[in-house]
Structure 1
Amino acid sequence: MNTSIEENRSHPRLPDLLGAYHLVNQAEKGTPVATVAELPAVYRSEVEDPAAAFTADTVLLATPPGDDLPAGCVVLKAPREGRAPEIKRLWVAPEARRKGIAKALMAEALRRAAASGASAVRLTVWNWREEPVALYRALGFATVASWDERPDLLCLEKTLEETLVKPLEKPLATAADRIERLTPDEVRAHASAGLAALLVDAVDGGASVGFLAPLEAPDAAGWWTRVAEEAAEGVRDVWAAHGPDGNLTGVVTLVRGGAANGGHRGEIARLLVHRSARGRGLGYRLLATAEAHAAASGLTLLVLDTQTDSPAERLYRGAGWTAAGTIPDFAADPSGVLRPTTLYYKRLG
């Protein structure tokens, strides 16, 4: 049996793993604390709310064969400001070591980084951590010029090869949602069920996506039916995420500029992840999928708007989008209260 790898920022076991990591890290740095409550605020926030702390990142957990709970974790940070994605928080519980869990987590993190189009991955490690350093060296990481001047901290980087994108000879078990582009007919087929359910769930959850609560399923289905017509006209592209059970767990659409002088740009609209599927990095994956398609189809600029200070805003900032400005009282939230909206843009290529 293989180690099982899952992506889940909201797993109830994750705070324990992160807490253990940070407590050991503080002790090794010579600044020990007894409890998570005594950790520096930046680390304590990760333990208290991993889903919020890593909202734009990929969090992987590893469960050994025959066990019910994860015994290890690693975080693949989203690339920021043109930098390579960074691997952080690699941790395996002491009782589960010497079973290849750390290597399995690293292999999956590297595979996902390569699949996202990254050309390299970087990380930092204290030079006294002999076993992790040996693992990173074995995986092909090399010392590079420091981007963090703290004493005794090594900065390592690995160039990713195309072969990393290919499935492993012995695939790791994963629970990743499958993302695919929907044809206009498929949008119509899902309009009254899965797609309508995603829109209703978003409005019920307080997301400002153009509708007031309560949103009735027939109204949501009607909106998606109109989207299907736009897809047929080539105005809008739609991608949906399918969970392991086949149900739709998320969706994103890309609207192309209609003006003669706006053919170079597009708009990200209706990025929705069902509340039951959050914490797995799905929003970032959907966004990255739409961005990659936009770039491949010749678009050079993307725009979007989102309610100011919403969870979605953290996702966009983490994914490299730039805030262009905020408009007060721009749109009502589902309860009817006027809220500010922040406009974002991202250059492609």
Structure 2
Amino acid sequence: MHTNPGIEESRHHPALPSLLAAYHLATEAEKGRPVAGPDELPERYRAEVTDPAGAFAGDTVLVAGPAEGCVVLTAGGELKRLWVAPQARGRGLATALVTEALRRAGERGTGSVRLSVWRWRADALALYRRLGFRPARPWDAREGLLSLEWRPGTAEVRRLTPGEVRERAAGGLAALLVDAVDGGASIGFLAPLEPAEAAAWWTEAAGVREVWAALDPRGRVLGAVTLARDGKANGRHRGEIARLVVHREARGQGIARRLLTAAEAHAAATGLTLLVLDTQTDSPAEHLYRATGWTPAGTIPDFAADPAGTLRPTTLYYKRLAP
């Protein structure tokens, strides 16, 4: 199971020099030019270790955990310096770091993200290909380097009819929930989530909740979100956003934001003036909600268990819609 580590954007993170040093020392060794320590690295690499904030001025530097991994997304759209400390590997940190970098690139409208990777780094190559990177025209002539490029997807976001929800319940919609829970998302289920249980949830939701899905050109479900209207006489002005999920292979393309925007626009157009939601405190989703104008109303400790069964705090959010 993959975890959802805390990822911080910081060019001044105290662990960054040691993470970058470890990356460069390992790379030099792999190239057959091992050095004894950071002071013996080539000058351009020493500069990164000595002064990361200066070396990456204007770039996005992401750090996972207290000192577990890092990646850099340059202002020009190049992904570099992906590193996870050996003791922290096997927990999905590399995927989380790259996915977060791609998400930010997609949200700021970056047309593409490029990178170069050494041919011998099979695990990294497999990761990049799984996340949608494809071979690109080389821009670095050094022998042994492969050039890859990622471009945002062209998913269609649309509201599904109750019949369409039922038709897709046991297929793409169920697979979406299973993937989310397997990835550590706290969305009301414990792991492992059986496909039949996920399908039953969607079947029950059809006709009760309004559902939007992001579909690729072949019709595969890449993401979904639901809107539940309050049926009480004194609450018909409000609705709840829930189950905003994007498949791990499709993250970083701005799909979550598009789904949320579609649901909010429909809610406003159909008379709702207030939306609420809750999400696990410090989860990646909080960044999206805060960035799109949602207001935190408070945090409840030990509100819900994560997929592994550990009680976690939940933060409640609300958003007022223009009448």
When the two structures are superposed, what TM-score results if normalisation uses the length of structure 2? 0.60
- Of 60, 68, 87 in structure 1, the residue corresponding to residue 110 of structure 2 is 60
Correspondence 1:1-349 to 2 at 5 A: 38-40=51-53, 43-45=60-62, 47=73, 49=97, 51-52=99-100, 55=103, 57-62=107-112, 68-69=135-136, 175-230=153-208, 236-349=209-322
When the two structures are superposed, what TM-score results if normalisation uses the length of structure 1? 0.55
Residues 137-164 of structure 1: CA distance to partner in whole angstroms, max 9, x if unpaired?
xxxxxxxxxxxxxxxxxxxxxxxxxxxx
Matches of 2:190 and 2:52, distance apart in 1: 42
Give, as a single letter, the amino acid of the residue that structure 2 aligns with 1:242.
L
Give, as a single letter, the amino acid of the residue that structure 2 aligns with 1:210.
G
Structure 1 residue 239, shift from structure 2 partner? 0.5
Matches of 1:174 and 1:261, distance apart in 2: 42
Q: How many residue pairs end up in the alignment? A: 213
Give, as a single letter, the amino acid of the residue that structure 1 aligns with 2:201.
W
Match of 2:92 in 1: none
Specify the SS of the correspondent of 2:61.
helix
Specify the SS of the correspondent of 2:188.
coil
Residues 167-211 of structure 1: CA distance to partner in whole angstroms, max 9, x if unpaired?
xxxxxx973111111001000000000100001111111111111
Residues 236-273 of structure 1: CA distance to partner in whole angstroms, max 9, x if unpaired?
21000111332100000011111111111111010010
Structure 1 residue 70, shift from structure 2 partner? 7.9
Gap change, CA 1:183 and 1:339, over 3 Å in 2: same
User: Are the counterparts in 1 of residues 223 and 247 from structure 2 also a CA contact under 8 Å?
Assistant: yes
Which segments of 5 or more consecutive residues in structure 2 lack a partner in the other structure?
1-43, 63-71, 74-81, 83-96, 114-133, 141-150
Give, as a single letter, the amino acid of the residue that structure 2 aligns with 1:44.
V
Which segments of 5 or more consecutive residues in structure 1 lack a partner in the other structure?
1-31, 72-92, 95-172, 231-235
Give, as a single letter, the amino acid of the residue that structure 1 aligns with 2:153.
A
User: Are the counterparts in 2 of residues 188 and 224 from structure 1 also a CA contact under 8 Å?
Assistant: yes
Specify the SS of the correspondent of 2:313.
strand
- The two structures, once aligned, show a CA RMSD in angstroms of 2.9
Structure 1 residue 35, shift from structure 2 partner? 5.3
Match of 1:152 in 2: none
Matches of 1:54 and 1:317, distance apart in 2: 18
Q: Percent identity?
A: 58
